[in-house]
Amino acid sequence: MTTRSHIGFWLAIFALLFFATPVMRNGEAMEAFAAREMALTRATFGDSTADTLQRQANVVFALYTPKDTLGKAVVHGRDMDLTKMLTGTTGVAAAKGFNSYVQGLILNMFVIVLRLFIFLLWAVILLPVFIAAIIDGFVQRAIKRAEFGAIRPAAYTLLSMVVIPLAMAPLIYLVIPLPISPLVSPLWALVMALPLSAMVSNMQPIFGRN
């Protein structure tokens, strides 16, 4: 599997989970899901940081998501009466199911935005870990070249197949339909650092340069 197809696969998983989560959870269950996610954020960062993250998420959610457009798609009032008149109870049940899905989709977008800000906060904190891992990889590579050690393309390819899914993990984290503690981010960074360093240490020269 090429790097592009690998990334495409994880993007497809992201899209699947994004649209499937409101099917697995109705409107009320999604509200409880969003509340649980906020409670985990408060338990991890404290009220002050959690309130800041929530305010930022609310601003982005209000300005940069299609929540208003989706909200207009909800069937209610005269439209619901017309649906009942034309299709009977079956149509009403379908309309209520559609309303629940749309409401779930809107709440799902809020959870995604909140998790994005949580991850960005951790990314700033954990950036030195990744910088250290990359520098360590280049140092190990330089040592191998100085001592005529083997820089293995096969090891680089194998490690890249580990690093790519790990690199895409934050994207999947945004849409996993389960409450997840924000503490998963530092754990992810620790798991990511070692194969990233090893991959860099086996990276081949580009255009004949070391």
* Residue in 100, 120, 108 with CA at minimum distance from that of residue 37: 108
CA distance 46 to 187: 19
Q: ∠ at Cα 143 (139, 144), nearest 5°?
A: 120
**Digitized pLDDT (tens) for each residue of the chain, 210 residues in all:** 677 887 889 999 999 999 998 888 766 788 888 889 889 999 999 999 999 999 999 999 999 888 888 888 888 777 777 777 778 778 878 888 888 888 889 889 999 999 999 999 999 999 999 999 999 988 988 887 777 666 677 788 888 888 888 999 999 999 998 888 899 989 998 899 989 998 888 887 654 444
Reading the block at residue 203, the tokens are 């990276």
Q: Which residue type, as a one-letter code, is found at position 9?
A: F
Crossing angle of the two packed helices 27-45 and 47-64, in degrees rounded to 10:
140
Q: What pTM value is reported for the model?
A: 0.83
Neighbours of 86 (CB within 10 A): 8
